[in-house]
Amino acid sequence: MTENFPDEPVEIFSPSLPEKHTPAKQPRGLMAITLCEAWIAYCLYGFGALLVLYAADYILRPDIAPTVIGLGPFSQLLQWIFGTTTMSGLAAEISSAYLMCAFLWPIAAGIIIDLLLGFRNAFIIGMVLICAGFLFLASSATFLFALLSLILGFGLIRAMLPAQLGQLYEHDDPRRADGYQIFCLGLQFTGIIAPLAGGLTEKYYGWGPAFLVLSLGAPLGALFYWLGWKHLPKASSRHRKGVRIALSRDDRRALLVIALFLPALAVSSVPNSQMMSAYELWGGQHFALSLFGYALPVSSLISLDGIASVATGFMILWLWRVWGRYRRVPEEMAKVVIGGIITPLGPLALTAGAYFGPGLHEVNLWWAIAFHFLNDFGFGLSQATGMALVAKLAPGPIRTSVISFYPFSSFLSQLLAGRLASLLGTMGSIPFWGLHMAASIVGAVMFIAIYLAFRDVFKEDASIDKGLKVRQPSLP
């Protein structure tokens, strides 16, 4: 998703900036970062897709739960945070808590990378922690140690790679939005493979082999990162010599926009955040999970979401290219607003499915397909474009730290989704998904309010139209 395309090069004139021509091709480092992140996501999302099922079907069993170190106090903590009253709710909360921490830790990790580790050391430590986490899964007793190790490892990697990706582009590079969309497509491809690989392996061979299959993504990600190392930025923004942190008034205004945008994105994304917790448990009970007479594993719902994510990702890229042939492509925040308006249609499809199929295993699978495609189209517009928007607005001297705050929206969204997940089994399906639809509508209203209040920040050519000097971006 770009504002201009290679056959229409961008030219910016100002007294302080020379005329610039943006290359048509994406930076070479984009492929290495995308492939590395994709295989790390293979581990993260594959495990995430199985976690709620693993907790419900194995860890919380009466004969297994007493052997898990620290599970009693951990369960009490979850009940205090979410108000969980049912076993299915507790399993969903374990998954939500894991995802919440996996999204929250990158915030602190980004600061640590900026001030202490740098990209290379962060990557090595992160990979070691991920591998250790999968080793801990070999025993049910060390289940919580596995969660902690995986959270710490994934957090370091996920704070580092988007920041490196952002440094591949100049501040006003129109290729940035397309680069982040390609980056997200890599995640979505492995989102198809990982749940199926893990789910089918578990179905025929058990939990241990399933986790072993998922752990293979870590060395593959490391391999692609090493192959593309020479094309990547070697230091975070604070490690660049001669860079002094001095934020201008425009930089502080951009930070205010980011601070308002992230909670709005969190509220809008609540239906998507429910994907790997209550949605899987609800779907296993209500969807008719069969294809041509073959029973599908519950984790296939996450693979279906991966297929929808890839398809809608290409649709989004195609949409803006076709749009750009006839009229100006909307600025990034306008795209986010469009995504926010579409997102509530996803949980509306689940509400309709529950209305027409109220019994167990009576909801037609077409309602799941409708949910995933509508949700992913709206979420894809909001999430990928929002990531590009934050990377663009983030002041250069603290860019890694600011971008590392982006997952905070996912943390907040998981927290909200977790509160709603605690209602699973205590209310009907129609009001349950109706609450998710209401949350995404509130998020859309927040997007619109931010867009209207800060039009001058989001409109890329505002300074040119007004005949003003183009603001000098901070050093990357």
DSSP one-letter string for 249-270 = HHHHHHHHHHHHHHHHHHHHTH
| 291 located within any domain | yes
Confidence of residue 145 (pLDDT cuts 50, 70, 90): very high
Strands 290-291 and 294-295: antiparallel
CATH number at residue 416: 1.20.1250.20
DSSP one-letter string for 385-433 = HHHHHHHHHS-GGGHHHHHHTTHHHHHHHHHHHHHHHTTBTTB-HHHHH
Of the given ranges (147-151, 168-172, 248-252, 384-388), which has the lowest mean pLDDT? 168-172
Confidence of residue 253 (pLDDT cuts 50, 70, 90): confident
| 19 located within any domain | no
Looking at residue 51, its pLDDT comes to: 86
| 473 located within any domain | no
Decide if pLDDT at 25 tops 90: no
Q: How many CA atoms lie within 13 A of 301 on its CB side?
A: 30
Percent above pLDDT 70 for the chain: 80
Confidence of residue 82 (pLDDT cuts 50, 70, 90): confident
How far lies 464's CA from each of 11, 37, 158, 328, 393, in Å? 11, 37, 36, 16, 18
Decide if pLDDT at 84 tops 80: no
Question: For residue 393, what are its two tokens?
Answer: 């607005």
| 2 located within any domain | no
In the predicted model, what is the mean pLDDT of residues 102-123? 78
| 475 located within any domain | no
Bridge partners, 424 (sequence order): 427
Tell me the pLDDT tens digit for each residue of 33-64.
Answer: 888 888 888 888 788 878 888 888 888 888 88
Looking at residue 404, its pLDDT comes to: 67
Of the given ranges (141-155, 229-243, 257-271), which has the lowest mean pLDDT? 229-243
Of the given ranges (52-61, 241-250, 307-316, 462-471), which has the lowest mean pLDDT? 462-471
Let me know: does 279 contact 301? Beta carbons within 8 Å.
yes
Let me know: does 113 contact 128? Beta carbons within 8 Å.
no
Looking at residue 236, its pLDDT comes to: 53
Of the given ranges (39-43, 172-176, 212-216, 262-266), which has the lowest mean pLDDT? 172-176
Distant-in-sequence, close-in-space partners of 404: CB < 8 Å, separation ≥ 6: 106, 107, 109, 110, 111, 113, 159, 162, 163
| 229 located within any domain | yes
Domain count, the chain: 1
Cα Rg of the chain, angstroms: 22
Cα separation of the two ends of the chain? 22
Q: Which of 208, 86, 54, 61 is CA-nearest to residue 139? A: 208
| 161 located within any domain | yes
Q: Which domain holds residue 128?
A: 29-237+248-459
Looking at residue 64, its pLDDT comes to: 85
Looking at residue 473, its pLDDT comes to: 35
Tell me the pLDDT tens digit for each residue of 369-411.
Answer: 999 999 989 988 888 788 778 877 877 667 766 776 777 888 8
Looking at residue 469, its pLDDT comes to: 35
| 333 located within any domain | yes
Bridge partners, 287 (sequence order): 363
Decide if pLDDT at 474 tops 60: no
Question: For residue 60, what are its two tokens?
Answer: 């919380």
Distance CA(135)–CA(138), nearest Å, equals: 6
Decide if pLDDT at 342 tops 90: yes
Let me know: does 343 contact 379? Beta carbons within 8 Å.
yes
In the predicted model, what is the mean pLDDT of residues 200-212? 85
Q: Is the pTM of this model over 0.85?
A: no
Tokens 């986490």 found at: 133
Highest mean pLDDT among 8-22, 166-180, 212-226, 451-465: 212-226
- Round the average pLDDT of the chain to a whole number and report it: 77
